[in-house]
Amino acid sequence: MSNFFNFILRRFLLTIIAVFGVIILVFLLTRLLPNNPAALRAGPLADAELIKQYEREMGLDKPLIVQFGTYTGQLMRGDLGDSWRTSQPVREELGIRIPATLELALSAFIIALFFGVPLGIIAAFYSDSWIDQIVRVFATLGASLALFWLALVGVYIFYYLLHWAAAPVGRLTIGINEPPEITGLFLIDSLLAGDIETFKDAFNHLWLPACTLAFIVSAPIIKISRSSMKDVLNADYIRTAKAIGVPPTKLLFKDGLLNAFIPILTMLGIVFGYLMGGNLIVEQVFAWPGIGQYAWKALSTNDFNAVQSFVLLIAVVYVSLNFIIDLIYALINPQIRLE
Amino acid sequence: MSSTQNSIQNIEIKPSVISRSEFLGKIRFFTRFPLFIFGILVILFYLLVVIFGPSLTVYDPTIPNPQYTLGQPNSDYPFGTDKFGRDILTRVVYATRLDLMIALLVASLSFSIGSLMGCIVGYYGGWLDKVIMRVVDVMFAFPAFILAMAITSALGDTVQNVIIAIATAYTPYFIRLTRGEMLTLRTRQYADAAISVGNPSWRVALIHLLPNALTPSLVQMTLVSGWAILDAAGLAFLGLGITPPTAEWGVMVSEGAQRIITGEWWVWLYPGAAIVLAAFAFNLVGDGLRDIMTREEQ
């Protein structure tokens, strides 16, 4: 058991180091901006005096290392600074947008999971058959589709031509009130409030962007499920089991799945991290009021406190997911703890 | 004397006979990977478009034509025209040059820098290895697209900066792959042998070991070419990096996106299809190469 705690402690320290590295990288990246943010904030008509004043206010006149010290100090206190575009605290602005992104990311994740893992396993089980071929072409296609283009094709077919989906303008039709906030996820909140109309409307807005994202991210899930299941099925102990006549379904579900689970889990972590950050494009097409859209607005106005915080948030989500997955590994497979 | 000549003749004859049947065998071997062949053919087609396309088109990719704006596809304009009346087929053809150039430059930049760094840290190890691998870990904490986005916005909107940004985002992949290969290669006997006959260590690392460490990176390079096209177009779609009026696939789709509600589908459909087909081809070739290598090992 002490091995286990050693492992967790080591992983935790590595995670902290990674987060610190991320902070440095993000800080340096945003300070490399060629445009002077103080000048941008002051506007094209401002004189040198006003720009100087803004520079002082934003602390841009101080040496880089001092700026970094101030920045990390703020972060320690959970302060992400103010947005220079809206003058609001970035933490609050991101906070109110996270549920929208989370709802979209979770829906896409669940669809991709229930779709991708079984497809990959079936393909591995009937390896090299026509089923396998079709699944592989499908996965390759998913990996090659440009997200923004797929989103447009979806909107054109399902909104413009068929009217199956709601107009791509956010989470709810204008005029329908948001359900009382409990989880921040409209589908769940509207059900909890017993408001079927709102639920239907939220669903009409959600399913198309969620399916678009799910299509893209199911590709790596299919690929990893197929290859790890194939590895397991080719392993000696499975061949032996097959030879002594263990029924195939038992092989597949009891022995195969658990062992194929670890690489699949890693991929699921990556996919969820990607969904939280990578849906910037989908949020853009569907006018989804999440953190991706916020980041896009911040990028196009050089609001780098906001950009910095978004990138930081995504990286921290990624790193923490990795940490959690490592913990799950260590619980499943004692060998990993020893490394 | 005559016996020596005989044996020499035998040696000379044998390889050519074997190589012919080997050649046929190779052909038969490759026909077992139809998707790989398809991918190669598509990439060849794109290369033909890059070389001959612009001389075959009759319109200009950037000069507006107010007489025929947002025109439906017809025999004069097979892909229709955009809101400025520019021929979409012409713009897709010119964009092929730019997008393929971006793909190849990103792939070769990240490949050469990444493998070189991976080779050095993998062979020498030590503190440099620790530092570089920490940085690689940090870079892996970002989705590649987000990292490329952050770098592009920091550097400014030019084609050159887009290439640098995407190449930087993919360099860690090559560092990791090559380092992993080098870690096993450096313990091989021939590495020790090369050192013991007096080769300097840099020569052993770069000339003797590195070429044998590159196979996984070459597969990765093909995949990265496809991803680079998607990323560059995605950035352009968000208004970052490559900007209008440049003829670039992502820029064109972005211009068409404003037309989604009014139904002018041809403005965004064709440039987007060009992106997807190109990325599909690179992915098929990359996956195919990997399959072929594992089969050959077996």
pLDDT 10s digits, B212-264: 888 889 889 999 999 999 999 999 998 888 988 888 999 999 888 887 777 78
pLDDT 10s digits, A71-85: 888 888 888 888 877
Inform me whether the C-beta atom of residue B38 falls under 8 Å from chain A C-beta atoms.
no
Domain count, chain A: 1
Chain B residue closest to A36 (CA)?
Answer: B154
Which of A294-308, B11-25, B155-169 has maximum average pLDDT? B155-169
The helix/strand count (H/E) of chain B reads as 12, 0
Q: Do B153 and A280 touch (CB under 8 A)?
A: no
Q: Which residue has the higher pLDDT, A56 or B52?
A: B52
Interface test with B, best of A152, A160, A299 (most B CBs within 10 A): A152
pLDDT 10s digits, B60-72: 777 777 777 777 7
Q: How far apart are CA A184 and CA A177, in angstroms?
A: 13
pTM assigned to the model = 0.86
Residue B44 pLDDT grade (very low, low, confident, very high; cuts 50, 70, 90): very high
In chain B, domain spans: 32-58+76-297
Inform me whether the C-beta atom of residue A78 falls under 8 Å from chain B C-beta atoms.
no
Residues on chain B touching A146 (C-beta within 8 angstroms): 230, 233-234, 237, 250, 253, 272, 275-276, 279
pLDDT 10s digits, B274-297: 999 999 999 999 988 888 887 776
Backbone φ/ψ region at B244: left (φ over 0), alpha (ψ -120 to 50), beta? beta
Q: Nearest by CB to A146, from B135, B150, B230: name it.
A: B230
Burial class (CB in 10 A: 0-12, 13-18, 19+), A283: buried
Q: How far is CA B208 from the centre of its chain?
A: 26
What contacts A131, CB < 8 A, 6 or more positions away? A122, A123
Q: In this structure, what CATH number is given to the domain that contains residue A143?
A: 1.10.3720
Q: How far apart are CA A248 and CA A62, in angstroms?
A: 68
What domain range includes position A256?
100-290
Inform me whether the C-beta atom of residue A168 falls under 8 Å from chain B C-beta atoms.
yes
Q: Nearest by CB to A296, from B142, B155, B238: name it.
A: B238
- On the question of pLDDT at B1 being above 50, the answer is no
Q: Do B280 and A146 touch (CB under 8 A)?
A: no
Q: What is the DSSP string of A169-203?
A: SSSS-TTSPPPPPSSS-HHHHHHHTT-HHHHHHHH
Mean pLDDT of B129-155: 86
* Residue A223 within a domain: yes
Residues on chain B touching A296 (C-beta within 8 angstroms): 238
Q: Please report the ipTM that was assigned to this predicted complex.
A: 0.85
The upper half-sphere exposure of residue A313, i.e. CA atoms within 13 Å in the direction of its Cβ, equals: 26
Assigned token pair, B131: 């530092």
Please tell me the predicted confidence (pLDDT) of residue B5.
46
Mean pLDDT of B86-106: 91
| C-alpha distance from residue A255 to each of A221, A238, A246, A260, A326 (Å) | 20, 8, 10, 9, 21
Residue A160 Cα, gap to closest chain B Cα (Å): 7
| CB-based contact B235:B242 (threshold 8 Å) | yes
Q: Residue B41: what residue type? A: L
CATH homologous superfamily of B32-58+76-297 equals MetI-like (1.10.3720.10)
* Residue A274 within a domain: yes
Q: How far apart are CA A221 and CA B80, in angstroms?
A: 38
Identify which of A95, A75, A91, A94 has the alpha carbon closest to the alpha carbon of residue A24: A75
Please tell me the predicted confidence (pLDDT) of residue A242.
76
Please tell me the predicted confidence (pLDDT) of residue B234.
92
Residue B11 pLDDT grade (very low, low, confident, very high; cuts 50, 70, 90): very low
Please tell me the predicted confidence (pLDDT) of residue B12.
47
Query: What is the number of other CB atoms lying within 10 angstroms of the CB of residue A84?
Result: 21
User: Residues of B numbered 49-108 whose beta carbons fall under 8 angstroms of chain A's beta carbons: which are they?
Assistant: none
Q: Residue B212: what residue type? A: N
Inform me whether the C-beta atom of residue B216 falls under 8 Å from chain A C-beta atoms.
no
Sign of CA pseudo-dihedral B129, B132, B137, B143? negative
- On the question of pLDDT at B17 being above 60, the answer is no
* Residue A235 within a domain: yes
Please tell me the predicted confidence (pLDDT) of residue A251.
67
- Angle at which helices B159-185 and B144-155 pack, to 10 degrees? 130
Q: How far apart are CA A223 and CA B196, in angstroms?
A: 44
| CB-based contact B228:B118 (threshold 8 Å) | no
Residues on chain B touching A166 (C-beta within 8 angstroms): none
What contacts B214, CB < 8 A, 6 or more positions away? B115, B178, B181
* Residue A256 within a domain: yes
